[in-house]
């Protein structure tokens, strides 16, 4: 059967599931009821639920009729710690928790794809792995799948997934070759000096003056060291020191974020930040320590996977509904922990806006945004077609 007919058969069911998830959103690593619902549905559809020891999140496996390669499809399932202000009948019932990043739609898309692929499993040469990933908003869920060795269940040969995009119309998808999202690393710095009376700096080593110097010099990493064709952002978002105008404190603590669209540029800038921080403090008689919170690499789509997605979209939603995404985003996405590390991969955008309701255009992480969930069919259609083509 044609893919769009397959997914259309259960379109109403998937919209109902999505709206149920929307009413009962759960925060990162607390997706217990969501996990139960996914497991229940996968078992009902005929997908094997593989227990790899995750607290939340689900790994599903579908074996095709003949042996072959493995397509891994990943979607995230968690909600955000914010109130919902959208005027919809299925509004969030949980105070200060809402699916304003559209992960309820992602979950429904993957369930829809699972149900459709079961119906054609005899024609598939190979396996499909379904990763319902927890804790994307905290950048933790992809790493949890890796810790639990999901890849030992069936080694992926291709990784795909999607993310909602209110700026594009429902029924369409967006494709971006190459860099699509930035890396995201947090760093913490402690600058130590020697405290004392504010009237006698000659007897002290002022960590505030040192920190001010370090902060201004750190921006030269972006403007003077990084190759300008690789966009990057560094922000010091927190700085804490001192309690009184006439006391030089002993130390200053600050933290920041570094974002980059290129693997090598990211490494180079991390090294430069460490050098400037330590040497800058020493030049002014102080010392500095720096430590990194392991973040996520840039999300760089594989060109071949993008072209296969284009083919799948042409065969399902049609060329008129494919948008070429021009610019990458400096936002991050922890799907980048899974590809290209385990297989070539790509993430595409799924339009959720429409011209009738302006509330569908506020954007993600906006408490008023409404998502046009008629998009689920398009998202599932492209994914199912991709898997059918890849496992032909």
Q: Footprint of Zn ion on this chain (CB under 5 A)?
A: 101
CB atoms within 10 A of CB 189: 24
The nearest distance, CB 364 to Zn ion, in angstroms, is: 6
The rounded distance, in Å, linking the Cα atoms of 115 and 32 is 22
Q: Which residues pair with 346 in a beta bridge?
A: 160
The nearest distance, CB 137 to Zn ion, in angstroms, is: 5
The nearest distance, CB 331 to Zn ion, in angstroms, is: 8
The nearest distance, CB 382 to Zn ion, in angstroms, is: 18
The rounded distance, in Å, linking the Cα atoms of 173 and 160 is 14
The nearest distance, CB 76 to Zn ion, in angstroms, is: 6
Which 8-state DSSP code applies to residue 56?
S
The rounded distance, in Å, linking the Cα atoms of 63 and 127 is 5
Nearer to Zn ion, 101 or 114 (CB): 101
Radius of gyration of the chain from Cα atoms?
24
The nearest distance, CB 81 to Zn ion, in angstroms, is: 11
Nearer to Zn ion, 139 or 249 (CB): 139
213-222 contacts, C-beta under 8 A, 24 or more apart = 213/280, 213/284, 214/189, 214/276, 214/277, 214/280, 214/281, 214/288, 215/239, 215/254, 217/276, 217/280, 218/256, 218/273, 218/276, 218/277, 220/276, 221/269, 221/272, 221/273, 221/276, 222/269
Nearer to Zn ion, 101 or 300 (CB): 101
The nearest distance, CB 345 to Zn ion, in angstroms, is: 17
The nearest distance, CB 176 to Zn ion, in angstroms, is: 16
Residue nearest to Zn ion (CB): 101
Transcribe 217-247 into DSSP letters. HHHHIIIIIS-TTS-EEEEEEEEE--SSTTE
Nearer to Zn ion, 280 or 345 (CB): 345
Q: Are 117 and 124 in contact (CB under 8 A)?
A: yes
The rounded distance, in Å, linking the Cα atoms of 349 and 161 is 9
Nearer to Zn ion, 81 or 318 (CB): 81
Residue 290, CB-side half-sphere exposure with 13 Å CA sphere: 22
Nearer to Zn ion, 106 or 310 (CB): 106
Q: Two tokens at 326?
A: 């021009």
Nearer to Zn ion, 101 or 299 (CB): 101
Nearer to Zn ion, 101 or 254 (CB): 101
The rounded distance, in Å, linking the Cα atoms of 229 and 10 is 46
């Amino acid at each position: 059967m044609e893919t769009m007919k397959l997914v259309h058969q259960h379109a109403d069911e998937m919209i109902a599931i999505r709206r149920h998830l929307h009413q009962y959103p759960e925060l990162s690593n607390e997706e217990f009821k969501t996990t139960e619902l996914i497991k229940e549905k996968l078992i009902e559809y005929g997908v094997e639920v593989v227990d790899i020891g995750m607290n939340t999140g689900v790994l599903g496996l579908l074996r095709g009729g003949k042996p072959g390669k493995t397509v891994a499809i990943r979607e995230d399932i968690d909600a955000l710690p914010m109130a919902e202000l959208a005027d919809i009948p299925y509004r969030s019932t949980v105070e200060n928790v809402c699916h304003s990043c559209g992960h309820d739609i992602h979950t429904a898309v993957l369930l829809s794809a699972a149900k459709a692929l079961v119906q054609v499993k005899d024609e598939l040469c190979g396996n499909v792995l379904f990763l319902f990933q927890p804790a994307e908003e905290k950048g933790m869920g992809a790493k949890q799948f890796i810790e639990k060795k999901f890849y030992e269940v069936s080694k992926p040969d291709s990784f795909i997934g999607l993310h909602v995009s209110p700026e594009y119309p429902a029924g369409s998808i967006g494709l971006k070759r190459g860099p699509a999202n930035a890396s995201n690393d947090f760093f913490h710095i402690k600058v130590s000096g020697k405290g004392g009376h504010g009237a006698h700096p000659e007897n002290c080593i002022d960590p505030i003056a040192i920190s001010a110097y370090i902060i201004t010099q750190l921006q030269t990493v972006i403007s003077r060291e990084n190759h300008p064709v690789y966009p990057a952002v560094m922000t010091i978002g927190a700085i804490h020191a001192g309690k009184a105008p006439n006391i030089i404190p002993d130390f200053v603590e600050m933290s920041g974020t570094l974002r980059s669209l290129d693997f090598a540029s990211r490494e180079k800038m991390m090294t430069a930040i460490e050098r400037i921080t330590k040497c800058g403090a020493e030049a002014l008689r102080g010392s500095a320590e720096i430590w990194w919170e392991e973040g996520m690499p840039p999300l760089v789509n594989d060109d071949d996977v993008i072209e296969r997605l284009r083919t799948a979209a042409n065969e399902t939603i049609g060329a008129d509904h494919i948008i070429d995404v021009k610019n990458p985003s400096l936002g991050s996405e922890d799907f980048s922990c899974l590809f290209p590390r385990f297989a070539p991969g790509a993430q595409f955008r799924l339009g959720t806006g429409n011209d009738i309701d302006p509330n569908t255009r506020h954007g993600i992480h906006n408490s008023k945004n409404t998502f046009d969930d008629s998009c689920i069919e398009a998202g599932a259609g492209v994914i199912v077609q991709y898997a059918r083509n890849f496992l032909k």
